[in-house]
Structure 1
């Protein structure tokens, strides 16, 4: 099968708005890192879906994830790969940790979701793993960057469906100039704050019009918002004005993909 099958009509002539697939490591990443973008996209009526790599679909956090997506206006149910969190083996009893999954297997699982959703844009973690550099975040980034190319090649993972080549990957990130305040808050609970040079940021998105849905989605992750060290808990202790300032802008590095290759 040639790569030609993986192409699709130009977005300008498509009958519906271009679809978006977000792929993140943990429940709550979708709300914290791209909640405004997801809410904005879902509001257009475009297909919007989220893949989460860790935690079992039977765990309490699966219900929190479903509530988060509902708050963002995402109509599709969560797509959970069901692997264990790097630091919480009990998150998926009997399953391997996501960061230990062989790369070929991990890529194949994401290719299946990309071909099923057929998005124009895929959103995921940057190479550094955002702020804390979590191993699951970095593994998700590596896997997505391979999967978006593999999804357009018919001879790879033929059992995963018809080829489909996304046009763009947006890597959620944090520039040096915008991380000082958030880094100080994380430092107070013993966490690091990784950021990238401002030149790495290609898309700065004002998501203040969607601050209500975004905050509701973050709060939907109740197990995190009621703790001490998790970012939702840290944010919930802040004055509303400060919180809105920290959450009102999202930053991305845009990677444009070429057409599928035969």
Structure 2
């Protein structure tokens, strides 16, 4: 069974490891091509060097950076505009180029809230990725940046309501925490066999560890707590508009009773098993 190639798109260096590090490591270990596009920070910064180390740990190749400035850190890309201020068409075009070059089967990005913190760069990355995933398959959009290519689906990294209390107990309450009803989660991925790689990739972002951001909080946790809190990754599947859906993209088989006629997709309860990777359920 072929393992789908995966392209992740996240806002900042460290988002890839925190939100989908386990899935990236899992796909790479199973022989898939994996890569990450990062919207912010310039290629000649410390954060970019840390990103390169994290991607090496996860088996996700070299950094692919759009090079915009972080909304809250002007020196992240000297002389460049903030990602959230960039012309939308320009940002979409840049990402379309990466999609057509890499030709992923599936993509992963932030959910519509921008994940737990709701950072404006995360939210904008979601918007740009959703537009680019569709535009990349349309031959009359951006004809100068490669042959059309449409991924089968985009998976949105998210957190269900039920997971939030345990996280808040350890990482502390934020001004706002964004999560979704459990029934909207369509892929629950056990990445415990790859937790060491995931945590090592998170900690490779040393500048974030040193300033006490989430990687710094994780650095201070005992291994069993790290595994309990971060060995599961959650996603919402967003179908491509034209491609035929595959049940073997991100997690292999979705088991459960057939959806009753007229029942909304988000209300369907399924258990996800990672059969193609050979991991324990």
User: Secondary structure at 1:251's aligned position in 2?
Assistant: strand
Could you tell me how far apart the structure 2 residues matched to 1:251 and 1:17 are? 19
The equivalent of 2:48 in structure 1 is 62
The equivalent of 2:180 in structure 1 is 196
Residue 242 of structure 1, CA deviation: 1.1
Higher helix fraction (1 or 2)? 1
Q: TM-score, normalised by structure 2?
A: 0.84
Residue 185 of structure 1, CA deviation: 3.8
User: Secondary structure at 2:109's aligned position in 1?
Assistant: strand
Conserved? CA contact 1:21–1:121, under 8 Å: yes
Conserved? CA contact 1:186–1:193, under 8 Å: no
For the pair 1:95 / 2:80, whether they are aligned, the reply is yes
Residue 142 of structure 1, CA deviation: 0.4
Could you tell me how far apart the structure 2 residues matched to 1:55 and 1:185 are? 28
Could you tell me how far apart the structure 2 residues matched to 1:224 and 1:191 are? 20
The equivalent of 1:219 in structure 2 is 203
The count of aligned residue pairs is 243
Could you tell me how far apart the structure 1 residues matched to 2:170 and 2:11 are? 22
Q: TM-score, normalised by structure 1?
A: 0.90
**Range 96-105 or range 202-211, more displaced:** 96-105
Counterpart of 2:143 (choices 148, 158, 176) is 158
The equivalent of 1:81 in structure 2 is 66
Conserved? CA contact 2:3–2:27, under 8 Å: no
After the TM superposition, which parts of structure 1 deviate over 3 Å for at least 4 consecutive aligned residues?
184-188
Counterpart of 2:108 (choices 111, 123, 147) is 123
Structure 1: state its 5+ residue gaps: 1-11
Residue 256 of structure 1, CA deviation: 1.4
RMSD of aligned residue pairs (Cα, Å)? 1.3
Could you tell me how far apart the structure 2 residues matched to 1:134 and 1:174 are? 15
Residue 17 of structure 1, CA deviation: 3.8
Could you tell me how far apart the structure 1 residues matched to 2:89 and 2:199 are? 36
User: Secondary structure at 1:238's aligned position in 2?
Assistant: coil
Render the CA deviation track for 1:206-231: whole Å, top value 9, x for unaligned. 00000011011001000011222x11
Structure ranking higher on relative contact order (CA contacts 8 Å, 6+ apart):
1
**Range 97-106 or range 117-126, more displaced:** 97-106
Render the CA deviation track for 1:121-142: whole Å, top value 9, x for unaligned. 0000000011110000000000
